[in-house]
């Protein structure tokens, strides 16, 4: 019987692998219904109905996002980014019905021969389901959230 930490780690590593390999639809299947996915811009926290985000959306909006990226005409991903990410500094609060998880990430991305690093910390709210989890809430706060950005059209 694996511990909660092992289960959470396995889940986060799987999510990281799906994002690294541009497996958009499989990644989308990790989300619960309903769900919320949020990438804040400029500041770490604010009312997202009053301040624009890099991404803020419910299940429908996330679905549109992954469909757009998989339809083959998203030229900012033509050619696609190659990436591998490391997930670490995992802290877990067991709330029973809802597991709150914080984790750091470092993404190494190469596109058109240019290498970039994207780092940040993600807050997940996970719902236990069938020995694994579904993502009810994912908020990824990039360290560079207020900096000039070029292309974040892969999965963060």
Partner 1 sequence: MATSNGRAIDYDALVKPDAVHGDCYIDPDIFADELKKIYGRGWVYIGHQSEIPNAGDYVRKWIGLQPVIFSRDKAGKYHVLFNRCTHRGASICQHDKGNTGGFRCEYHGWFFRLDGALQAIPYVEGYGDNFDKAQHNLRRPARVDEYRGFVFASLSPTGIPLTQHISGPAQRQIDYACDLSPEGELVVQSGATKLAYNGNWKLQMENSIDGYHPNFTHQSFISTLERLTGSKVEIFSGHAKTQSRDLGMGCSNIDSRRANIEHPQAQARLKMMQGTSWGKKYYDDLVAAHGKERAEEVLIVNGTHMNVFPNLVVLAGQVRTIQPISTERTEVYLRPSLLKGVPDEVNTQRIRQYESFYTTVGGGIHDDVEMFNRVHEGLRCSQDPWLIFQRGLHREQTDNDGTIFSQGTDETAQRGMWRHWKSVMQQDANG
The CA-CA-CA angle for residues 20, 22, 23, to 5°, reads 110
- The window from 15-23, 36-44, 90-98, 123-131 that contacts partner 1 (CB under 8 A) reads 36-44
Nearer to partner 1, 69 or 92 (CB): 69
- The window from 18-26, 96-104, 120-128, 147-155 that contacts partner 1 (CB under 8 A) reads 147-155
Distances (CA, A) of 19 to 3, 14, 28, 66: 25, 9, 10, 11
Q: How many residues bind partner 1 (CB under 8 A)?
A: 37
CA–CA separation, 39 and 107 (whole Å): 15
Contact between 104 and partner 1 per CB under 8 A: no
CA–CA separation, 88 and 105 (whole Å): 6
Reduced to 3 states (helix: H, G, I; strand: E, B; else coil), residue 116 is strand
Residue ranges in 47-66 that form contacts with partner 1 under rule CB under 8 A: 48-57, 61, 64-65
- The window from 9-17, 22-30, 72-80, 120-128 that contacts partner 1 (CB under 8 A) reads 72-80
């Amino acid at each position: 019987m694996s511990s909660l930490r092992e289960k959470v780690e396995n889940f986060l590593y799987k999510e990281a692998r799906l994002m690294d390999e541009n497996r958009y639809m499989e990644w989308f299947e990790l989300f619960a219904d309903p769900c919320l996915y949020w990438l804040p811009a400029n500041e770490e926290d604010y009312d997202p109905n009053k301040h624009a985000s890099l991404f803020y959306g419910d299940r429908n909006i996330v679905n549109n996002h992954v469909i757009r990226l998989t339809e083959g005409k998203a030229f900012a991903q033509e050619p696609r980014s190659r990436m591998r990410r490391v997930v670490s500094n995992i802290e877990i609060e067991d709330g029973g019905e809802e597991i709150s998880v914080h984790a750091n990430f470092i993404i190494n991305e190469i596109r058109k021969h240019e290498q970039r690093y994207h780092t940040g910390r993600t807050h997940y709210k996970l719902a236990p389901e069938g020995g694994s989890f579904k993502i009810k809430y994912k908020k990824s706060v990039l360290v560079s959230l207020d900096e000039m950005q070029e292309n974040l059209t892969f999965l963060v």
